[in-house]
Amino acid sequence: MTFFLAIKKLMNKIVVICSLIAIVGILLLFYLAKVTQPNFISLNEIDSTYIGKTVSTSGRIVAITYSKGNIFLTIYDKNSSISVPIFSNVAKYLDVSLRKGQKIVVSGVVDEYKGRLQIVPRKASDIKVVE
């Protein structure tokens, strides 16, 4: 019987150790998700190989339209432009006023819509006015 008690104690220790390792791993992943930043690349470097990837870039707003709570931007820099759709679930939290001519830094996931690349920000803090 003492053999089984020893095995049970050992199993309890293993469960505790595994649980602690799992908790530390989850906390580490959470921390890394908060502190990592997307790669900053020039607007003219963004191509279809970036689809599905998170990037950060900058450009001047050359077009802006509003529709049903959504904001649709076109930004331009050095002979390249890209669409930036800011959907209503993000737009309602913007704490900046966006206007033509402003230079912005935008982070988001590169996507393709109707054959054209776009950067889709996931949260309001992904859009920053720099000029």
Q: How confident is the model at residue 85 (pLDDT cuts 50, 70, 90)?
A: very high
Which tokens sit at 38?
């997307």
pLDDT digits (tens, 9 = 90+) for 34-77: 777 777 899 999 999 999 999 999 999 999 999 999 999 999 99
Q: What is the pTM of this model?
A: 0.73
Model pLDDT, residue 1: 63
What number does CATH give the domain 39-129? 2.40.50.140
Burial level of 97, CB count in 10 A (0-12/13-18/19+)? exposed
Where in the chain are the domains?
Answer: 1-36, 39-129
Model pLDDT, residue 67: 94
Burial level of 52, CB count in 10 A (0-12/13-18/19+)? exposed
